[in-house]
Structure 1
Amino acid sequence: MNLRKAGAAAAIATALALTAAACGSDDDKSSGTDGKKDKIVVGIKYDQPGIGLKEPDGSFSGMDVQVATYVAKELGYDEKDIEFKETKSANRETALANDEVDFIVASYSINDERKQKVDFAGPYFLAHQDLLVRAGEKFTDAKELNGKKLCSVTGSTSAQNMKKDIAPDAQLVERGGYSECVSALQNGAVDALTTDDSILAGYAAQPANKGKFELSGLKLSDESYGIGTKKGSELTAKINKALEKMVSDGSWEKTMNDVFGPAGYKFEPAPQIGS
């Protein structure tokens, strides 16, 4: 009887050891011995030409994509190890809190309200809120916007700025993505699309939009783009170092010239990282 019990106990111990070994091998696939994951997930926009765009062939282009790729490489990841995931404006804080992404590079303006929920590395870019209008229909003053129909994206800083400060009496139409606003502008459903000038320049420069739209040239606000990280994440300091190197080695300016040169958009000098 005792021998049978001892044999059964040994069999159970062996089974548990094998199970543990199997679990250990799964962990090894997801994380190296240094604790670094095999892949890094980066949140970007999919519908912003020049900023973050998913191309028809499934590839990605834009300033944020290039910045994210540089940062990920400095963190030890090859391009093949980067997974880009769409994070719309209204979902960015949730995506970080739920660990759906490791960091977000998605025209993510730094402000006090957001800093209560997430941390930011950067800023890495300074944009200004402006208006995209039909060709020949420029606005010359923010006061002209009251009573007009303006389109922006739900959860964006631009929408909040318009409601609170710039033109509280404007009729604000909020959509899930900027492409929807461009369509609304084209068919006359709204008078203007408002967001950052860097984003608007990308839409205006698209071949299908050439000659149809123009920017009003109003600097309605300053928008400092940061890289969003989970509150308390150790990645924040590491990303700041990567951004500092990107500026110092000339990669930042080259990226901006490559992205915005064809659109004729004059970008601001690199902001001070960590400011």
Structure 2
Amino acid sequence: MEKEEWAVLCTLYIEEHLKEELSVKRLSEWAGYSPWYFSRCFKEKVGASPMEYLKQRRLLAAAREIRRGRRILDAAMDYGWETHGGFTKAFVSQFGYSPVYLRAFHFRDVSMKGEIMELSLKNMEFYKEPEELFSELCRTLTENGTEYHPEELRSIYEAASNAHKGQTRYSGEAYVTHPLNVAIILADMGADIETVCAGLLHDLLFNAFFQDKKNGCYFEHQEEMKAVLQSYQEFNQTGTCTDDRGALVALADRLHNMRTIEFVDPSTWKQRAEETLKVFSPLAAKYQDLRLRSELDDLSIKHLII
């Protein structure tokens, strides 16, 4: 069995046995390799050691149950912690806040901005109008304190909208809703404005786009945006890129495509899910955004076990 194949299967195995006693020895025996070789290859392909990955998945699973009202100790014990204190320490280390908050508030209703992190990145409802999505993009940038010029951002959005005019997604939505959602994800991740704008333009031939004066797109950091888009193209062609921001655009693009996978041919779901686990989840681990990594994993696992 190829390393990439068993690494994907191992993440599925872990997901199915989260509440059981798992060890490197048990996992390596399941995979048919020595513990040392298994651990090295797993980290290489998944982006975290087997025990680190297991801990993250257990904490996320417990967090979701606590958020729905389950007692902290009950959830903690189900997922392998023996004491409330031990679980709380691990939880705070991972998320930066106490699990007590999960029983007291719904995250989106918390008024103390920045004190509590969402369990997931912003996910907009289907069939939102482009103007609604653009307003949400501006709101997200403002909430995160990202500096931008509203007039210039609107100019780029309108230019992208014109470039995609007449195009639709498989869902029937205007195609520009996809780059808008990619831009919202990037803004929620805290990306700089050049990267967010690159998200708005990532499906266009950017050299022709910037050279076409009809677009009316004049941006203060236009060359930097082009560099991000060039890096994004480089990643799509080779799997690596010189500018990390190009990889962030690729991750946001993949996340939105996985969120809307139900609208494409079901025969492609498994292949897309496997590619996400093999390529994009380890890449997300590099940027240490657990929200991004966990959602990519969740969406992939969902379409591998159906």
> Do both share a fold (TM > 0.5)?
no
- Structure with more strand by fraction: 1
> TM-score, structure 2 length as denominator?
0.23
Report the TM-score when normalising by structure 1. 0.25
Higher relative contact order (CA 8 A, sep 6+): 1
Q: Which has the higher helix share?
A: 2
